Amino acid sequence: MNQLLNYRNTRFITSAPDIRHLPTDTGVEIAFAGRSNAGKSSALNRLTDQKGLARTSKTPGRTQLINMFEVTPGCNLIDLPGYGFAQVPLEMKKKWQRALGEYLQKRECLQGLVVLMDIRHPMKDLDQQMIMWAVESRLPVLVLLTKADKLKSGARKQQLMKTRKDSLSFGGDVQVEFFSSLKGLGVDQVRAKLTEWFTPELERQQAFLAEDGEAPISENTDD
């Protein structure tokens, strides 16, 4: 089934300090992870065409909680605390990392991981650790090289090809694309990948409705 989703309908659900404060572990969740200056919030806002959905700041590290956004019932996007860069007290940074690790290891409905990194400085140690963990957990990964508008077309393509080559060493299901929140580069590709990951849940819901004798609910993709 080629199910289309209207990402403009995405809405904020909750912020939680850890998984114990998140809603029930059901449906499908796709998590966005990256260094604190990678542009996660800006990417989520661009993907959903909502300037204020995810809070952005000129100060890296403002995402201090696990933030959940619902695309459609049973299909959620997760904005995880940033790692690596944030200029915050060490104890607070450790608290973020505990919440991040716990979510990644224990959240059963996590079905895909988007790892964002600045196209000018890709594959830092923590980025590689995140991808290796996902591959070892048999979780598909979409690597987004953000701020792609900062490079000219030739350099952008060169960096994309190099990072794709480097990603082969991880094995597993790792896809690499460039992305720009400012220019909209890569938006369609990311939405397509998210929809691919959400499709099993959408199919499950439609099968359940069919068994109950109810007409399937189709998404409105016109607006």
pLDDT attached to residue 87 = 60
CA end-to-end span of the chain: 21
pLDDT attached to residue 222 = 45
Which whole-number Å values give the CA distances from 14 to 2, 75, 111, 158, 190, in the listed order?
Answer: 29, 14, 19, 39, 23
Residue 150 makes CB contacts below 8 A (sequence gap 6+) with: 119, 120
pLDDT attached to residue 52 = 85
pLDDT attached to residue 200 = 94
Q: pLDDT tens across 23-39, in order?
A: 999 999 999 999 888 99
